[in-house]
């Protein structure tokens, strides 16, 4: 499978999961938390174990949020 097709497929899967959560959970904060959880699981699946994944904000190597 071509790399761009793989990225497109993964992106579509995330879109579907996010859309399902948005329709099932009407409270904005809870909906956001649920989407964040899906994204954390996604990152854990594809990133090396040495990369930490937790709740909160993304911080780059320069400490920017």
Mean pLDDT by 10 residues, the chain (65 residues): 88 89 88 89 90 84 91
Q: pTM score > 0.95 for this model?
A: no
Q: Which residue range forms the structural domain that includes residue 31?
A: 1-65
Q: What is the number of domains present in the chain?
A: 1
- pLDDT at position 48: 93
- pLDDT at position 56: 80
- pLDDT at position 8: 92
Q: Which two tokens stand for residue 29?
A: 């904060």
Residues 32 and 21 sit within 8 Å (Cβ to Cβ): no
Please state the φ and ψ torsions of residue 53, each to the nearest 5 degrees.
Answer: -130, 125
- pLDDT at position 9: 92
Please state the φ and ψ torsions of residue 47, each to the nearest 5 degrees.
Answer: -95, 155
Residues 29 and 36 sit within 8 Å (Cβ to Cβ): no
Count, residues in the chain: 65
């Amino acid at each position: 499978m071509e790399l761009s097709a793989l990225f497109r497929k993964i992106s579509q899967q995330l879109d579907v999961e996010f859309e399902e959560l948005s329709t099932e959970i009407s409270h904005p904060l809870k909906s956001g938390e649920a989407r964040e959880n899906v994204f954390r699981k996604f990152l854990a699946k594809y990133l090396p174990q040495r990369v930490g994944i937790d709740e909160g904000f993304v911080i780059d190597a320069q400490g920017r949020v």
